[in-house]
Structure 1
Amino acid sequence: MKAAYITIHDKIKDDIDLGIWKIGQRLPSERDLADEFGVSRMTLRQAITLLVEEGVLTRKVGSGTYVASTRVQEKMRGTTSFTEIIQLQGKTPSSQLLSYIKTQPNEKERQMLHLDSKENIVRMERVRFADGVPVVYEVASIPERLIQNVKKEDVTNHFFKTLTDNGYRIGKSHQTIFARLANDKVARLLDIKKNQAILALRQVSYLEDGQPFEYVNSQYVGERFEFYLENN
């Protein structure tokens, strides 16, 4: 049997998903909600606190509790850059570059990018933000031959646009999503707690001719980002 605060947590979250509570809408007071659910204010507060920690709700000092509006959505269809996704949500994208190196690929990178034994890659490590809030930590691997005459800034700031500007046509992508726990490094970079559940994404993106041009391992803050499927 679920604890009372978990039941309340699930009901409020379901109501938000159904649109009963709108993004940015202020919730009733804890006293009124406690009365509505027939529980103590302490029990009600446990449910609200958990929803705040998950990023579903947000507290504003002296004002109340509101449905949060910081979660970004990505439609799992086609190949779209993070920058485009964030801009389509009406938010401002930005990145913090942690490393950018030319190196030999490891076996997994060689396999995913269809590289021969003599080819090098550029591996870049970044934190990506939406309106200044850290959303994802990613490590991207790119065949060096595709960007050897491209400025580093053009690769790190708008890689997909740089490819299309240079005559390449973006094709499909293959994505694998799974759950994992944030380690010390990821927790620090994304401003979350160690061992917090996060969404991990492995993605290989291809040009229209079937040539893979990017292999990315990403770790998303679950309460700030969600994936959804859309079928034709």
Structure 2
Amino acid sequence: MLPAYIRIHDHIKKEIDKSLWKIGDRLPSERDLADQFKVSRMTLRQAITLLVDEGILERRIGSGTYVASSRVQEKMTGTTSFTQIVSSQGKIPSTKVISYQRVHPNEQETGFLNIKPNSYVIRMKRVRYADDLPVVFEITAIPERIIKNFKKEDITEHFFQTLTDNGFVIDKSQQTISARNADEQTAHFLEISKGQAVLSLTQVSYFEDGIPFEYVRSQYVGERFEFYLENK
């Protein structure tokens, strides 16, 4: 079962998508929402914070929490790796690994990857380049059981290709995009100024059987990368 804060996150997001909460609407207080969902205020705050991080809600100091006034959300079909995207545009992709650790999953990783807290994930921080220009800083979590027989280089350099070569069938991904300002760490790795606008992407990728295999939080340099959305 998903953690309570993830279920609350999904419920509120679904209500917003159905226009039960409209752009600019003010949400009830955290106390009232906590009572409504029968959870602690701390749990409720985790759900709200995640929605704020995704750009779905916005906090206004001294006023409350509102449905974000400027949010564009489109369903992007298919799942394509960064390497494939860059290569298809005639550029040379490369990766710099900042860290590569075997750790227990945090609460978000447990929820999105549907794994147990006492299991292990490989969590890596990477900077991805196109023609030696840093484009994205990302933090990726992958269940260890999926990749325990793969070499580190196979994971850090061409993960999707490694999965495909070993018989895994990659299916859909769920993505959330929002705008934010680069913090000091992100600015350093992307070689931009602190506070410069970046595109924040949260993505969960799934195999054909519906099992999630990757949870990624990425920060893209807006002037170096754009997302193309196509509705069918």
Between the aligned partners of 2:109 and 2:188, the Cα distance in structure 1 is 26
1:138 paired to 2:138 = yes
Q: What is the aligned partner in structure 2 of residue 186 from structure 1?
A: 186
What is the CA RMSD across the aligned residues, in angstroms? 1.1
Per-residue CA shift, 1:126-180, capped at 9, x if unaligned?
0000000000000000000000010000000000011111111000000000011
1:108 paired to 2:108 = yes
Q: What is the aligned partner in structure 2 of residue 7 from structure 1?
A: none
Q: What is the aligned partner in structure 2 of residue 169 from structure 1?
A: 169
Q: What is the aligned partner in structure 2 of residue 154 from structure 1?
A: 154
Between the aligned partners of 2:82 and 2:141, the Cα distance in structure 1 is 15
1:212 paired to 2:207 = no
Q: How many residues align?
A: 158
- Map of 1:2-81 to 2, 5 A cutoff? 76-81=76-81
- SS of residue in 2 equivalent to 1:171: strand
Between the aligned partners of 1:142 and 1:197, the Cα distance in structure 2 is 28
Contact 1:207 1:213 in 2 (8 A): yes
CA-CA distance at 1:118 after TM superposition? 2.8
Matched-pair identity in %: 60
Gaps of 5+ in 2: 1-74
Gaps of 5+ in 1: 1-74
Between the aligned partners of 1:105 and 1:117, the Cα distance in structure 2 is 6
Per-residue CA shift, 1:170-225, capped at 9, x if unaligned?
00000000011101111111111110011000000000000000000000000000
Q: What is the aligned partner in structure 1 of residue 195 from structure 2?
A: 195
Contact 2:95 2:126 in 1 (8 A): yes
Between the aligned partners of 2:227 and 2:218, the Cα distance in structure 1 is 13
TM-score, L = length of structure 2: 0.67
Between the aligned partners of 1:111 and 1:179, the Cα distance in structure 2 is 24
Q: What is the aligned partner in structure 2 of residue 88 from structure 1?
A: 88
Contact 1:76 1:227 in 2 (8 A): no
